[in-house]
Amino acid sequence: MKSDQKYLSQLSLQFPNIHAAAAEIINLSSVLNLPKGTEHFISDIHGEYASFQHVLRNASGSIAKKIEDEFGDELSDSEKRTLATLIYYPHEKLDLIEETSSRFDEWCRRALFLLIRVTRRTAFKYNRTKLKRALKPDYEYIIEELLTERAEVSDKEAYYNGIIDAIIQTNSAKSFIIVFCRLIQHLAIDRLHILGDIFDRGAKPHLVMDRLETYHSVDIQWGNHDIEWMGAACGSVLCMASVIRFSIKYGNLDTLEEGYGINLIPLMTFAMTEYKNDPCERFGVEKSEEDEDATLRKMHKAIAVLQLKLEGQLARRRPEFEMEKRAFLDKIDYEKGTVTIEGKVYPLTDAYFPTVNPSDPYALSEGEKKLCEKIYSAFRSNEKLQRHADFLYARGSMFRIYNGNLLYHGCIPLNRDGSFMSATIGGQTVSGKALCETLELWARKARYSRKKEEKEYGLDVMYFIWSNERSPLYGKDKMTTFERYFLDDSSVKTEVKNPYYALIEDERVVRHIFEEFGIDFETGHIINGHMPVRRTKGESPVHLGGKVIIIDGGFSAPYQKVTGIAGYTLVSDSRLLKIIAHEPFVSTEEAIRTEKDMRSAVEIIAHANGRLRVADTDRGREMQERIQDLNELIVAYKSGTIREHQM
């Protein structure tokens, strides 16, 4: 309790007398009785910006439902679609309407009245203070007037018509329509939770990050792909190599070159020299043009071999990570073209390693050393990447407990018997919650520590988090990078899921996780992503009666053949917990032109016992503590312990 004299004295600076403290208590008490705000949970975006931003704009289908609830048969289906598209894409839709309508002012007048009604329906659970925060000061007064029922006005229709007339006559209609549309989008999602993997596979993670930077209320649980990029931004050359390899493999070099302006010419020059006559057939590239395919294959192999060398160095540098079994370059017979894995000899499908010294296979060649220096400089000096990394650190974490739910990206690593899998990090052997906390601590040291040894260890931990079997963000027994490139035997390419994914139907095990993190089993849920839910094979995102919910539904296009859908949103409002499965999104242009929305299917997971209020949330509990502190301040004022000040 923060009720000591020093704290109350500080509080008195903000609330200098009894009247001010009492007014704040009344304000907070009124908010506590409002319905709980709507939370949206999204995971595994993987750079699919168009789909992601549409889901935000349509609030996972909830805005269309509000339009339906508000207007019913009053509007035709076509009119409802037009209104919904206007709310999602106001700038673009207004331009189209203005080009084609001969009575644009009248169209705007009607649109404003419709938007006022949708906004009122969307804003009913918020007080004026929150509404004001969502508005620019220039529009605040007029918007508030249009949304507020004024009891003292006898002819309300004339009053509101007068305001709308003035908006039309001053050529301000488009501006106000856009403000209303943005306000509806803002109010429809009170809190956005991103459960990891913003990066890799899709082409525009930088645009997703730009959008999140300006979002009104968001937290991020890091995914393994996010950690890979964060490690690269912080200075891990190994993470940089992995980022580049993934970008080449999935045909997303535009993310690096155009999105972040990272120069890959040094890699191209190096690859064309060292692998000049090598067809690099095993190093295919998705979505590449035929005339550039040969160059990209060489770049792909060059960065893959460099990554394997750096992985081997890490394995030897950090034996506690137990990565030696994933280092293969020292297990190759370079004359015979074979590799020995766990005592078995396998033929290599590609035995051409011009930069590898068989007597010291993990040593970098002179060309590779110079390449690493240039890559390091490009990533570390990139202002936009560094800004995005800072945002991920500021808003992100390994896990989060929010309103009684436990959020994380991947899993809590388990042994087959359901016990927590342990790892040795920084000299400590940890598991469960402590493992997550320790890994996060070292990830932050990789960014912020001024001690050279701490920072270097933190950078190595970043790669551990990205790819190690004991990492909560990876959740598989191995990352088979080498095997997929150099072996044909499919049995050695399988990446087995951590037992967590089989044991989440075991109540004993799940209760153990709830207890470890201090979550109420009766009211709470575990929400994670990472593993695509294969609906085409009958898998469900909901486990153990809704106690565990996996929400990776395939935002990433390569996964949609497996999932059968194009992403999930989990929505928690004041009445329901529901999961929404999205159909594939074609394009923003198509959505605007045809007014075709992203179709979604809804599955109810849980009903609240009565309507949840702000008082039932984490924010509500903080407000109740604040009320208690303010009451104690009033007592101090009345007793004379603290003197009142003039306002």
Angle between helices 432-448 and 452-467 (to 10 degrees): 130
d(CA 216, CA 37): 13
Q: Where are the alpha helices (DSSP H) in 89-223?
A: 90-100, 104-123, 128-133, 137-147, 156-169, 173-188, 205-213
Q: Which residue has the tokens 């040894």?
A: 453
Kindly tell me the number of DSSP H helices and DSSP E strands found in the chain: 27, 17
- In sequence order, the 6+-apart residues with CB closer than 8 A to the CB of 26 are none
**Nearest CA-CA partner of 579 in 545, 617, 606, 611:** 606
pLDDT over 90 at 564, yes or no: no
Residue 402 pairs with which residues in a beta bridge?
405
- Higher pLDDT pick, 228 / 7: 228
Encode pLDDT of 207-242 as tens digits.
Answer: 999 999 999 999 999 999 999 999 999 999 999 999
For range 332-338, the mean pLDDT:
96
- Higher pLDDT pick, 156 / 265: 265
Instruction: Please report the pLDDT score of residue 155 as a whole number.
Output: 62
Angle between helices 224-234 and 383-395 (to 10 degrees): 130
d(CA 375, CA 448): 21
- % of the chain at pLDDT higher than 90: 78
pLDDT over 80 at 288, yes or no: no
Instruction: Please report the pLDDT score of residue 289 as a whole number.
Output: 59
**Nearest CA-CA partner of 226 in 249, 203, 260, 197:** 197
| The two structure tokens encoding residue 19 | 């009247």
- Confidence grade of residue 562 (pLDDT, cut at 50, 70, 90): confident
Let me know how long the chain is: 647
State which amino acid sits at residue 631.
N
What pTM was estimated for this model as a whole? 0.93
Encode pLDDT of 189-204 as tens digits.
Answer: 999 999 999 999 888 9
Instruction: Please report the pLDDT score of residue 587 as a whole number.
Output: 81
- Cβ neighbours around 291 below 10 Å, total: 7
- In sequence order, the 6+-apart residues with CB closer than 8 A to the CB of 162 are none
The pairing of beta strand 422-425 with beta strand 344-347: unpaired
Encode pLDDT of 87-131 as tens digits.
Answer: 999 999 999 999 988 899 999 999 999 999 999 999 888 877 788
Instruction: Please report the pLDDT score of residue 585 as a whole number.
Output: 81
Instruction: Please report the pLDDT score of residue 483 as a whole number.
Output: 96
| The two structure tokens encoding residue 140 | 């605040």
Instruction: Please report the pLDDT score of residue 586 as a whole number.
Output: 76
